[in-house]
Every structure is written in C-alpha cells, then in structure tokens.
Amino acid sequence: MRQTMPTPRRLVVAISGASGAVYGVRLLQRLRETAGIETHLVVSDAGWHNLQHELAMERAAVEALADQLHDIRDVGASLASGSFQCSGMVVAPCSMRTLAAVAHGLADNLITRAADVMLKERRRLLLMVRESPLSLVHLRNMVSVTEAGAIVCPPLPAFYLRPQSVDDIVDHSVARALDLLDIPHALATRWEGLSHALR
C-alpha cells in the first residue's frame, strides 16, 4: 500500500554554486509564505560563496528562510534516505558540476545524494540549470537527467509578460517552478492571452 505524504508537505531546496542564488532565496521566501510547506535546505560550498557574493547574504539570514538547514557533507541526514517522506526537490540554481553529478548518480554530497533519492523514488526533481553557452557535455547531462525523470527548467526570462524589474524576472521563473511542484501561489506571472495583454 502506498503511503500518504505527511502534512505539512516537505520540500528539499538546494542552492548550488551557479550564478543566480537569488532564485533559491526567492523560492524559499515564497515557500515560507505558503501554508503547509516544510522546507529542508542544503547549500553547497560554492553556493554559500555565491550567496555572499551576489546577494551579500550571511548564513544566518539564509538559514532563517528554511525550516531546517542540512550540512552539504552530512550524507547521513534524513534527506539522504528514500524513507524520508517528501514531495520533491528543487536545485535553484543548479551548477553544471551538480548537474553532472546527478546525471552520473555520483551522490557525493547531500545535494547530489538527495537528488539521486528523488530519481530512484520517482519523486519530482527540478533542476534550475544555469550556464551559457552550453557545451555538448552539459547538453548530454541534461538529456540524461531528463531520461531519468528530472525536469530541467533553466531560469530564463519571459519578455512577453513585460517584466518591469529584476524582481519580476526572478518571480516569473520561481512561479513556473512552484507550478511544477503543484504549489499554489499568487505571483502574477500568467499569460492570459494576447487580447488581455493588448488591453
């Protein structure tokens, strides 16, 4: 008999060392505003570096956004086991190094192990990959993780919504990620048809 998910719904949020730490932070902020969600955060060493460099955020401020922070080296943490009930995981942003490790099942730290668990347990795994341009190695790794069941969702701006600020651009990608996780949100980032847009 399949077990039901616990209430609140648990989600793993990982921040790796690609540019775009703001995506992970904004996701955590939106999830914090959503009732019934319990977030488990893992940040890689390079992720901490970029949080500090791009957003000038200290560990304590990031930690305060999550229900629980896990050490990247703690491969014995709850999330490292398939028996830990959770509905999904987002890596935001996802570096090419972390993508490669997930694509090859390395499970060499808590982010890549938790992602490996998502794949083996057939749970939702979103990889908000960020790099440009993309090499054939990157593209092949994206194919591999997609074949294994992950969703590759690069945080790309959508100009049809006429973003007015960097916040709008970030919110758009975060909204798409929340949609993919079946998490309700009130971010005004939906296309309602050309006739509406021309009004």
Q: Which residues bind ligand FMN (CB under 6 A)?
A: 16-19, 44, 46-47, 49-50, 53, 95-98, 130-131
User: Between residues 65 and 96, which has the closer beta carbon with respect to ligand FMN?
Assistant: 96
User: Closest separation between CB of residue 41 and ligand FMN, Å?
Assistant: 14
Which residue, 108, 121, 118, 100, is CA-closest to 72? 108
Rounded to a whole number of angstroms, the minimum distance from the CB of residue 169 to ligand FMN is 16
**Amino acid letter for position 181:** L
Instruction: Output the smallest distance, CB 94 to ligand FMN, in A.
Output: 8
- Cβ-based nearer residue to ligand FMN, 23 or 65: 23
152: phi then psi, degrees, rounded to nearest 5: -90, 115
In the complex with ligand FMN, which residue's Cβ is closer, 47 or 88?
47
DSSP 183: -
Block residue for tokens 């930690």? 63
Question: Is the separation of the CB atoms in 152 and 183 below 8 Å?
Answer: no
Q: How many CA atoms lie within 13 A of 41 on its CB side?
A: 26
Cβ distance to ligand FMN smaller for residue 16 or 183: 16
Shortest reach from residue 180's CB to ligand FMN, in Å: 21
